[in-house]
Structure 1
Amino acid sequence: MEGFSESALRALAGPRSFERGRGYLDAVSGVEVGDGWVTARVHGTERYEVELVLDGPGGLSGDCDCPYGMEGNFCKHLVALGLTVLAQRESLPRQRKAARDRAQDLDGWLSGLSKDALLILVREQIAEDRQLRRRLELRAASARGDLAAVRARIRDLLDISPFAQYGYVAYADARAYADQAGQAVSAIGALTGSGRADDAITLTREAMKLLAAAVENVDDSDGWLGQVGTDLADTHLEACRAARPDPEELARWLVGHALCDVDDGFTDIDPLDYEEILGEDGLTVLRKLAVEAWRGNRRGWAEKYLMERLAKAGGDVYAVIAVYAADLSPSGHTHLAIAHELDTARRPDEALRWAERGIQDARDLAAVDTALVDYLCDRYTQADRLSDAVAVRRDHFRARRTLLAYQQLRAAARAADCWQAEREGALALLRAEAEQRPPSWYGGPVLIDALLDDKALDAAWQAATDIGADDQQWLTLADQVRPIRPADALGVYHRLAEPLTKETGNAIYEQLTSLLLSIRDCHRRLGTGEEFTTYLTALRAGQKRKRNLMRLLDQHGL
């Protein structure tokens, strides 16, 4: 128990979960101390079952059935239990000894019972514990070699009917159903352990279909059934390792499973996990079937993914490219994916040609994947082809005409020492667009943003005056020119503040207060403080019923 300390809890949980765990100390209840473990319930969003293992093989560890804990994380609920136990650390050795004594006493008592007495005891538990009864029924059917009975019990365990209302399992009942489905998976796994791996393979595949159908009617928001699906896939793999099924049959099943939309990825099986079981003969059949399926449906997502996965595993970059090239996206996204694959294969010249082709093939440069544009320009820059990078950025800007595209063109042109000429053309394009599209509710002219970004304040102000700007652009302009043109800025602030006085809400009050502070600063710069005092007095008188606004003004000395 040497590793059990606050520092150990912090190291396992991380600073954030550790600090959040401190806030749950009052939520811990039902603490039970065993020999090497402590369990409790912690009340959070739900009531969670929490267990700390104090001195296991890997040292201090824990499990919690909250969503974060189910992902394998040491959560805040575990921290809360750990801190609760540490607060009573002096009594922990005594409690552990008492737990050991109780376990020994129980074991001694059970060992002294006759067979008939033990049967009575087990039957009593079976009558009270439905889950125990089902587990024992499955074990009995397995021991008899009664596959039909095992299959029937597994179907019962996967049936949603006992948990469903109107054919659907709600969130509140999803955990209970997942627990029951997990019993079915455990029972199938037990078949492998008892030497009946062939039966386990058969039942696993049947269970996959049943679970895939069930999950459509279960609110699995917390991912309980998703974990059952993962466990079921692992169970199938272990059964195949033990049974060594026919490689060709296994290959056909794996391809069929990967391409079947009934499962919809619920039991996420990677055919390459079976590589050692398939052997060279099985892998040959697997590749052949995958290629046939892909050629029959080159745009099918499952077919493309399977082919891509097999091609990458085989190190065949051209097979990967063939998969992508069979369904090239007009946005250039697939061209970029091909370029990345070729880069990985250390074929940079071919990668560059595919990236260039992506731009050339694009029907609409405004819709092209910006990552492709960035990739191509980076490659041109690395190769000292600066004029080519500028040309791509220029074409992209002309198609999109956004502030970001303008900034990227500016960066490329400055690197090529041709920004002045590029800037004139870019601003002319933005000005023409601004004259055609007046400011609207969704934004003002990009021209104003570009001039502001260039720190061309006089030009931005003049453009806003001539063409128009939205309120946010005017506010930005006023903030930037206020030190040198306070009178102009003051007019903007007054215009923006006026409509806010007719609205309510804390967000509105914060905006109005910010504007009033700017108005006061303008008056101070102009030496007209008395005018501001008169203005503010009148405003407060008219807004006095807005108590939150008055409080905010007081806080800022207004």
Structure 2
Amino acid sequence: MARHVVGFGEEDLRALAGVRSFDRGLGYLDAVSGLEVGDGSVTATVHGTDVYEVELTLRDGIGVSGWCDCPYGQEGNFCKHCVAVGLTVLRQSEAIPRQRAAARARASRLEAWLTALSRDQLLALVREQIGEDRELRRRLELRAAAAHSDTGAVRDRILVLIDPRPFARYGYVEYADAARYARQVEEAADALRALASRGLAAQAVGLAEEAIRALGRAYEEVDDSDGVVGQAVGAVSEAHLEACSVARPDPDRLAEWLVGQALGDWNDAADLDPLDYADVLGPTGLARMRQLAAEARRRRPNGWAERYRMERLVKAEGDVDALVALYAKDLVPSGATHLRIAEELEAAGRADEALAWAERGLRDTAAEAHVDGRLADYVCTRYTQAGRTAETVAVRHDRFRVERSLVAYQQLRAAARTAGCWESTREAALAVLGEDACRDRGAGYRGPVLLDALLDDGDLDAAWREAVGRADDRQWQWLADLSRERRPADALAVYLRLIEPLKEPTGDRVYERMAQLLLKARDCHQAMGTEAEFTAQLADLRAELKRRRKLMTLLDRHGL
């Protein structure tokens, strides 16, 4: 009945939140207050570590979605607070239709009342609201200043909006206050756009540059873990670009400002890309910008910002040879720069030169253990397209001998199968991994790559032989999972051994892992026809851990 009325049920909340968050939400039912049901949404307050605002959106045929201003919720997750509000709604489901009807009636009455008011009455209402709400008054003052082209008033208001000090209770803007500060910065961006749209684009350019400088200084004192302030600063930067596109400022002056902004001490907030300004700068501005960037790079040849800006400028000019020469000055050991050069050359239609650079990258990095995997992928893809399968195998074999990883083994296998030489190639590869397994025995917590390769190949008999004394828990479980049907007794022994150390620790993750292992152990007993033995083992486990109520609940949920 509840699901029919509100459009969702407990199972929907559990699916959205996951077992962990759903179980935690059960503990917050008494912390929900201020539940307000609208036509298509529900809002409420949940008292947790802090006071959080929750909104559930209910859509016919789609179900429920949720938003919460807690850190986990702001990352886009359906958090425990959303679960608590959803469960509260389900408990009150019989009252939901009446509350929805009441919400629609309130909205309708408000609309009818506002429509019936005269101009003077509406003005009186607005004046009353701005007298009580300082933030609303400031927003409307800014709109009025922009509408009247009062640049002085707009400037003063923008500086107030981007000033972080009202939010900096302890000398910096805390995470909890960052979103409110970001909203003010976005208002400043809106005001700049409004100014430019009213024929004052040149003034908007100057104000935007002043705002960007101030925001660069302020950003150092903001906990912007979610990036909301950075996005708002980006809106100010976009307003600057839009105003420049209309005002067409002096190219040399704009180039000097952009370079100064990019290389200054306060450049973390606004990431201004010269490519975005290419049309406004024109050939003259781009040339001046490149000159300034080159001078800056001579002063700091290893500076990351100087190198990045120079690359972007050369790319904006479309000179591929100059860009290749620039990249070639700083070839990194991973081969990533060789790959960038190859991609630029290929994009310019120079495929042969691109492949030559990628091949050079493989030669230059032949002895490196950590190489950008995309470089070998690039070369192998081109070789395969050209039917050069033997050379593809050679590249994969060279990387495998250096990396000795499961991924390198898988890539070698795929290439060798295409070339029709996997049987002999596999024998040699396993011999290499076998030498590693003997040499590295007892050297760390991870099992040998040899065992991973055998498991990935599905060679279970060989894997069982190699596992004894070498496999880690991850590999033992992988082996047991693959062997449940053919060797249920051996797989069962593995599961029981893995369950044993889980009896000591506590927590949702531990309990879920124990439940999954028990389900697999049950499959093994069923395959052997020893279900009664499993029932007895499970009863003993429940008796031993009966005080862990959350574990008992989870086992019940899994039918154990």
* TM-score, length-scaled by structure 1: 0.71
| Aligned partner of 1:260 among 261, 264, 267 | 264
Which position in structure 1 is the counterpart of 2:108?
95
Structure 1 window deviating more from structure 2 (540-549 vs 349-358): it is 540-549
Alpha-carbon contact 1:169-1:219 (below 8 Å) kept: yes
Which position in structure 2 is the counterpart of 1:310?
313
| Aligned partner of 1:106 among 118, 123, 136 | 118
Alpha-carbon shift at residue 326 of structure 1 (Å)? 2.2
Task: Give me the whole-angstrom Cα distance separating, in 2, the residues matched to 1:492 and 1:139.
Answer: 70
1:130 aligns with 2:129: no
Which position in structure 2 is the counterpart of 1:447?
450
Alpha-carbon shift at residue 363 of structure 1 (Å)? 6.1
1:209 aligns with 2:213: yes
Task: Give me the whole-angstrom Cα distance separating, in 1, the residues matched to 2:253 and 2:399.
Answer: 52
Alpha-carbon contact 2:162-2:215 (below 8 Å) kept: yes
**Residue type of the partner of 1:410?**
R
1:424 aligns with 2:427: yes
Correspondences of 1:276-287 after superposition (within 5 Å): 276-287=279-290
Task: Give me the whole-angstrom Cα distance separating, in 2, the residues matched to 1:297 and 1:174.
Answer: 34
Alpha-carbon shift at residue 344 of structure 1 (Å)? 1.5
Task: Give me the whole-angstrom Cα distance separating, in 2, the residues matched to 1:225 and 1:42.
Answer: 25
Unaligned runs of 5+ in 1: 1-9, 11-15, 32-37, 52-63, 112-117
Which position in structure 2 is the counterpart of 1:325?
328
Cα gap change, 1:201 to 1:69, in 2 (>3 Å): farther
Cα gap change, 1:297 to 1:346, in 2 (>3 Å): farther
Alpha-carbon contact 2:511-2:554 (below 8 Å) kept: no
Please, what is the CA RMSD of the aligned residues? 4.9
Alpha-carbon shift at residue 350 of structure 1 (Å)? 1.0
Alpha-carbon shift at residue 338 of structure 1 (Å)? 1.5
Correspondences of 1:464-479 after superposition (within 5 Å): 464-465=467-468, 468-478=470-480
Correspondences of 1:192-203 after superposition (within 5 Å): 192=196, 196-203=200-207
Alpha-carbon contact 1:393-1:409 (below 8 Å) kept: yes
Alpha-carbon contact 2:173-2:222 (below 8 Å) kept: yes
Alpha-carbon shift at residue 434 of structure 1 (Å)? 1.0
Task: Give me the whole-angstrom Cα distance separating, in 2, the residues matched to 1:271 and 1:172.
Answer: 34
- Partner of 1:468: helix, strand, or coil? coil
Task: Give me the whole-angstrom Cα distance separating, in 2, the residues matched to 1:542 and 1:104.
Answer: 72
Which position in structure 2 is the counterpart of 1:160?
164
Correspondences of 1:110-121 after superposition (within 5 Å): none
Alpha-carbon contact 1:439-1:445 (below 8 Å) kept: no
- Post-superposition Cα deviations, 1:271-295, rounded to whole Å, max 9, x if no partner, equal 3444443344333323433444445
**Residue type of the partner of 1:307?**
M
Cα gap change, 1:291 to 1:49, in 2 (>3 Å): farther
* TM-score, length-scaled by structure 2: 0.71
Cα gap change, 1:242 to 1:473, in 2 (>3 Å): closer
**Residue type of the partner of 2:518?**
T
- Partner of 1:329: helix, strand, or coil? coil
Task: Give me the whole-angstrom Cα distance separating, in 2, the residues matched to 1:543 and 1:42.
Answer: 41
Which position in structure 1 is the counterpart of 2:515?
510
Which position in structure 1 is the counterpart of 2:22?
none
**Residue type of the partner of 1:545?**
E
Alpha-carbon contact 2:208-2:240 (below 8 Å) kept: yes
Larger radius of gyration: 1
Task: Give me the whole-angstrom Cα distance separating, in 1, the residues matched to 2:535 and 2:358.
Answer: 61
- Partner of 1:343: helix, strand, or coil? helix
Task: Give me the whole-angstrom Cα distance separating, in 1, the residues matched to 2:492 and 2:142.
Answer: 82
Alpha-carbon shift at residue 87 of structure 1 (Å)? 6.4
Alpha-carbon shift at residue 538 of structure 1 (Å)? 7.2
Count of residues in correspondence between the two structures: 494
Q: Percent identity at matched positions?
A: 49
Alpha-carbon contact 2:293-2:309 (below 8 Å) kept: yes
**Residue type of the partner of 1:520?**
H
**Residue type of the partner of 1:95?**
S
- Post-superposition Cα deviations, 1:107-166, rounded to whole Å, max 9, x if no partner, equal 15579xxxxxx9xx9987765443465567768988999977765554444333333212
Which position in structure 1 is the counterpart of 2:415?
412
**Residue type of the partner of 2:511?**
N
Alpha-carbon shift at residue 389 of structure 1 (Å)? 1.4
Alpha-carbon contact 2:38-2:104 (below 8 Å) kept: no
| Aligned partner of 1:229 among 233, 243, 246 | 233
Which position in structure 1 is the counterpart of 2:27?
none
Alpha-carbon contact 2:397-2:412 (below 8 Å) kept: yes
| Aligned partner of 2:352 among 341, 344, 349 | 349
Alpha-carbon contact 1:497-1:515 (below 8 Å) kept: no
Alpha-carbon shift at residue 432 of structure 1 (Å)? 1.3
- Partner of 2:382: helix, strand, or coil? helix
Alpha-carbon shift at residue 262 of structure 1 (Å)? 0.8
1:460 aligns with 2:463: yes
Which position in structure 1 is the counterpart of 2:545?
546
Cα gap change, 1:93 to 1:125, in 2 (>3 Å): closer
Which position in structure 1 is the counterpart of 2:3?
none
**Residue type of the partner of 1:468?**
R
Alpha-carbon shift at residue 198 of structure 1 (Å)? 4.1
Alpha-carbon contact 1:169-1:218 (below 8 Å) kept: yes
Alpha-carbon contact 2:147-2:195 (below 8 Å) kept: no
Alpha-carbon shift at residue 323 of structure 1 (Å)? 3.0
Alpha-carbon contact 1:297-1:303 (below 8 Å) kept: yes
- Post-superposition Cα deviations, 1:494-547, rounded to whole Å, max 9, x if no partner, equal 6556656777763464255246435535754xxxx5xx8579647845762333
Alpha-carbon contact 1:490-1:522 (below 8 Å) kept: no
Correspondences of 1:4-403 after superposition (within 5 Å): 28=36, 42-43=43-44, 46-47=52-53, 95=108, 99=111, 102-103=114-115, 105-107=117-119, 128-131=132-135, 134=138, 154-189=158-193, 191-192=195-196, 196-221=200-225, 223-264=227-268, 266-294=269-297, 296-362=299-365, 364-403=367-406
Alpha-carbon contact 2:495-2:518 (below 8 Å) kept: no
**Residue type of the partner of 2:108?**
Q
Cα gap change, 1:519 to 1:494, in 2 (>3 Å): farther
Cα gap change, 1:461 to 1:257, in 2 (>3 Å): same
Alpha-carbon contact 2:261-2:267 (below 8 Å) kept: yes
Alpha-carbon contact 1:500-1:512 (below 8 Å) kept: no
Which position in structure 1 is the counterpart of 2:92?
none
Task: Give me the whole-angstrom Cα distance separating, in 2, the residues matched to 1:341 and 1:506.
Answer: 51
Alpha-carbon shift at residue 331 of structure 1 (Å)? 0.5
Cα gap change, 1:86 to 1:342, in 2 (>3 Å): farther
**Residue type of the partner of 2:181?**
Y
Task: Give me the whole-angstrom Cα distance separating, in 2, the residues matched to 1:210 and 1:335.
Answer: 39
Alpha-carbon contact 2:179-2:228 (below 8 Å) kept: yes
- Partner of 1:217: helix, strand, or coil? coil
Alpha-carbon contact 1:440-1:470 (below 8 Å) kept: no
- Post-superposition Cα deviations, 1:450-499, rounded to whole Å, max 9, x if no partner, equal 2233333333333334x633344344445555655666666656655665
Task: Give me the whole-angstrom Cα distance separating, in 2, the residues matched to 1:105 and 1:398.
Answer: 82
- Post-superposition Cα deviations, 1:239-281, rounded to whole Å, max 9, x if no partner, equal 43454432211221122223334121x2333334444433443
